[in-house]
Structure 1
Amino acid sequence: MKNLLTDIAGVRVGHADDARLASGTTAIIFDSPAVAAIDVRGGGPGTREVSLLDVANTVERVDAIALSGGSAFGLDAGGGVQAWLAEQGRGFRIREAVIPVVPGAIVFDLLNGGDKAWGRFSPYRDLGYAAAASAGTDFALGSVGAGLGATTATFKGGIGSASAVTANGVKVAAIMVVNAVGSATVGDGPWFWAAPFEEDGEFGGRGLPPKFTPDMLAMRIKGGPAASARENTTIGLIVTDAILTKAQAKRLAMIAQTGFARAIYPVHAPLDGDVLFAAATCEKPIEPLVELTELGMVAANVVARAIARGVHSATALPFAGALPAWKDRFGA
């Protein structure tokens, strides 16, 4: 186990980003189509091809998930991932037509100091293609891919990942892009809200503060009273090797969203676009009540850990006034 999304067999991750742009894209590729669903909790989401994930709709499986910076422009990244998959002959087949199925979600990173004057067409389609083409089983965390330009209320945000195994041997893993309106840390200190779920010092091992003060519990949000509904979002994906139906994947996403609340304060605000995809590679049978509940419980913990790792692993952007990284303030 690498404590990464790719601990699930048949899942690969690739990043592509542009330092001058201060933005990028992350592609999650399934070697075989995966059952998928989505749960949306934030008030300002930006998504692509998510209606087909509704349990009442026909398509059961997806070929990839595209996560991107760039706000609505970043939705083009899914087209780039789709183009790469089409070259591989991957997709939903209708007679001789083959259509790769690539849902996606975006975060707002347009005001982070990068050069967004790209002209007529945004670079995100090309970034999506490059991310898909580079996908492998090892990938970086922090300020890379869709997390390059991500921020939180107090520290630089980024990409995080984590994994776990249930008591019955079912694997579950998450990848998260942390660009929240709130904070992943308690007050201005080194403690992560997700500390009770940390494993092996994966995000610093600082635990929780010895006591909570009113200042620690005060609201910290990006932009203060002037915060925009388009400036924030935490997006991600939870994957399991359990055999799930589309409806069960939806329930898994709903339970796993609890991890957002364990790791970000405040969360699911009108200012956020929080989105969590859930996917199943369908390798191991699972009992549909108690074992699915346990899987969701563990998945929520994994989501919380991945969020904290995204902030812990981040590096500051090289622009005047940029937010510091957690490691700038508190070290490794």
Structure 2
Amino acid sequence: MQVRFWGTRGSLPVAARAETVRDKIAQALVAAGGRSFADTAAAHAFIEGELSFAQGHTYGGATSCVEVDVGSGPFIVCDMGSGLREFGLDSLRRCGQEGHAREWHFFMSHLHWDHIMGFPFFVPAFVPGSKIVIHGGHADAEEALRRQQEEISFPVPFDYLRADIEFRTLSPGQDYRIGDVTVSLIGQHHSHSSYGYRFTDSKGKVAVYSTDSEHKIDHMDGEADVVAFFADADLVVCDTMYSLADSVAMKEDWGHSSNVVAIDLCHEAQAKRLALFHHEPTYSDADIERMHAESIRYEELTRETTPLDVVCAYDGLCVEV
């Protein structure tokens, strides 16, 4: 199983401003100390070996879109944020070159705009013969997708799409099969509710996708159902939009969680790896990198048994599960 991140920001897609790119280049030039590089390969080696991630890269700015790839069968995708456009183009390439079926299964955490805004730009939806199945715990998913393509909001109506599109409402506590993958879901704390998903492949590997869910540090005794849902997962993709200070002091009841709470839940669940996800759109690359470093340190200080590997999701990251 591979988990690919096509969009990792929360609430609002963001792009690097001109001065941000300028500052990254300036920092790289200073770090190079007057050295010259024979070719781009040498320059890449310098970036990878001597610059921090935030100096030499970016975490990206597309909103939530994560692919669960088991190597065969239909495509499985969590959410339809702005990262969906790039995934759609890449998946069509793989249909042609790698023999994937022209079938896409979406699992929706919820229906807020940042999680559905990519669908009007999902090219396979315009291709006759494509099959798209949209799964979720919300019975009003079709209404939400149609509404964002009404004329007042978008020039292309939903009915113009040429794919065979089906909506399926799922229930927590039940297992569902998509090809060789078993899927279950859990209700979460968020406006208009949200759902987390647990994917288990034929080899027993488990990836959990849990975003837009608020777990309060002073109510962790009520999270037993979440711990059970995360139990022994090989990868948990978790909403860590805020630092603990922000989640408690300024943004309580906003429907999101912190890096500290995610680590506590994964420790209790004995999960193997945590991916920090749904990054705050006002956080810079340096802010996100600092939170990642603080998360690693907190995991080390609170670890009781097996280490939890803490990675930080970025647009383009691919994790082997």
Query: So what's the TM-score if we normalise by structure 1?
Result: 0.28
Query: Structure 1 or 2: larger helix share?
Result: 2
Structure 1 or 2, whichever has the larger Rg, is: 2
